Structure 1
Amino acid sequence: MDARGAAAHRARLVAGLSGTVVEVGAGTGACFAHYPAQVTAVLAVEPDPYLRDLATKAATGAPVPVTVVAGTAECLPAEPGTFDAAVCSLVLCSVADPDAALAEIRRVLRPGGQLRFYEHVRSERRLVGLLEDAATPLWSRLAGGCHPNRDTAATIARGGFTITDLDRFGFAPAPLTPRTAHLLGRAELTAAGPGTP
């Protein structure tokens, strides 16, 4: 997956970040190597013990200080207003409640904080989108809760963020797999809060 382009996507995801960062659903720690030197600390939250162990090992070689902890997107182990930025890499498809996850991200960000996101999402092509809708109930059970039909950009906007940069593209993570819709972008806290037009 990384060799086919995901590593470059992750590098774009975190480029230009500075200060303190919370990475939500850190997985194996694949983003750690890409953080710029201006990042002073990363709190990497990962619920799965096996993935968390791999992330802890990856943190030892990161170019910035990374602390890996147990936790979920819906209940981040941090005080309000702690972080300058939040990073979500291929995680909002699989959280149980994306609205609750974004509310938590909003809670732990400082005023003016930003959200960086890299996610696969529902296709804009009608037939493909309908196929993703049909496949989601079974796929989510087989693939760790992954929902291939989520409209993550709309969820982010609904969660009190203003999307300031958005790149939508097709990406096939493995040979012989179809290209699926992906988003890579950034958003800022909306001062007035969730639900503000």
Structure 2
Amino acid sequence: MSSQSAPAPTTEEKGPINLLRPLLLMYYSLSYLPITIFHLLLSFQFSTFLSIDEFKDVWFARFWAFFGPMARDVSAPAVMPLLQKNARGVCLDIGPGSGQWLYLFQRANNPEITKIYGIEPNPGMHKALRENAVKAGLSDKYEIIGCGAEELQTKGGLDKESIDTIITVQCLCSIPTPEIIIKELYPMLKPGGQWLVYEHIKTKYQSDFVGYWQSGINVIWPHLFGGCSITRPTDEWLLQAGEWEEVKLRPVEGQGKYDTVPHVVGTLTKKRK
């Protein structure tokens, strides 16, 4: 898979019809609700129904097994140039899910990687994550830590200034207390270390219809997409996390005022002492 190349980015912004895209994505997720219920009943996993959070995790894991590859293809023009050859040393891969981007961390793409900690709190994703790590030839470098990003120092056993590269690809939208966690992750980065970012952000067109539309969609969206919120000003929180030597964040090409789920992509380099 290392021979894949990123599709050419689309620079032309889509029209108002693009406002309907979130409705289609939510329909895809909802279509996996009866499938998940049937599977749990058939396998006698009745206890899962006793916890809403556990049920949602199982539901999202099943849905994402189908939708994840599609989402990867759409995001590839922005994510592939970001991740290829930019990760180095000890890496912190926050919320990797099923590991759909792990092939970009193969030695041919990132020869300077020595270790990757995959921080994935959803156990329903671990099996696919391990399989994708093996497929990418990372079985000796990739270690799954089954806790949330907010527990890295207490349960993960990771120290401050021990990480060369932090990787967040569409995960800061779904972790709890993201503003606090971003500030907690910053000290773990070594001086001169890089933070690679591809994240949902709050639309910059708050005074336009899309601002109200995004807020309305976000009432339902998190329940269908593993807790993902599309109205977080994640780019602003990253800038405020600490002192940066260099910031290269930009909107994703082709996204504009009709995008309900806009993204920011780029890198932040921590200030050296």
Deviations 1:141-186 (A, max 9, x none): 33221111111110101212536112312679xxxxx673111111
Q: Which residue is equivalent to 2:164?
A: 84
Matched, 1:169 2:252: yes
Q: Secondary structure at the match of 1:137?
A: coil
Q: Which residue is equivalent to 1:138?
A: 220
Higher percent of residues as strand? 1
Matched, 1:59 2:127: no
Deviation at 1:90, TM superposition (A): 0.4
Q: Secondary structure at the match of 1:180?
A: coil
Structure 2: state its 5+ residue gaps.
1-69
Task: Provide the TM-score with structure 1 as the length reference.
Answer: 0.84
Q: Distance in 1 between matches of 2:89 and 2:237?
A: 26
Q: Which residue is equivalent to 2:209?
A: 127
Matched, 1:154 2:236: yes
Deviations 1:62-81 (A, max 9, x none): 24421112111112211222
| Larger displacement relative to structure 2 (20-29 or 131-140) | 131-140
Q: Distance in 2 between matches of 1:3 and 1:191?
A: 34
Task: Provide the TM-score with structure 2 as the length reference.
Answer: 0.62
- Paired residues in the alignment total 187
Q: What code does the residue aligned with 2:151 have?
A: C
8 A contact 2:121–2:148 mirrored in 1: yes
Q: Distance in 1 between matches of 2:194 and 2:170?
A: 17
Q: What code does the residue aligned with 1:185 have?
A: G
Q: Which residue is equivalent to 1:6?
A: 75
8 A contact 1:26–1:44 mirrored in 2: yes
Matched, 1:43 2:117: yes
Matched, 1:33 2:115: no
Identity of aligned residues (%): 23
How well do the aligned residues superpose, as a CA RMSD in angstroms?
Answer: 2.3
Q: Distance in 2 between matches of 1:180 and 1:96?
A: 19
Q: What code does the residue aligned with 2:122 have?
A: D
Q: What code does the residue aligned with 1:42 have?
A: I
8 A contact 2:174–2:229 mirrored in 1: yes
8 A contact 2:91–2:165 mirrored in 1: yes
Matched, 1:71 2:147: yes
Q: Distance in 1 between matches of 2:215 and 2:190?
A: 36
CA pair 69-160 structure 1, distance change in 2 beyond 3 A: same
Q: Distance in 2 between matches of 1:190 and 1:127?
A: 39
Matched, 1:113 2:193: yes
CA pair 191-99 structure 1, distance change in 2 beyond 3 A: farther
Deviation at 1:107, TM superposition (A): 2.7
Larger gyration radius, structure 1 or structure 2: 2
Higher percent of residues as helix? 2
| Larger displacement relative to structure 2 (162-171 or 72-81) | 162-171
Q: Which residue is equivalent to 1:189?
A: 270
8 A contact 1:81–1:110 mirrored in 2: yes
Q: Secondary structure at the match of 2:135?
A: coil
Q: What code does the residue aligned with 1:22 have?
A: L
8 A contact 2:172–2:178 mirrored in 1: yes
Q: Distance in 1 between matches of 2:174 and 2:254?
A: 18
| Larger displacement relative to structure 2 (162-171 or 104-113) | 162-171
8 A contact 2:214–2:261 mirrored in 1: no
Q: What code does the residue aligned with 2:219 have?
A: P
Q: Which residue is equivalent to 2:179?
A: 99
Deviation at 1:190, TM superposition (A): 4.6
Q: What code does the residue aligned with 2:241 have?
A: G
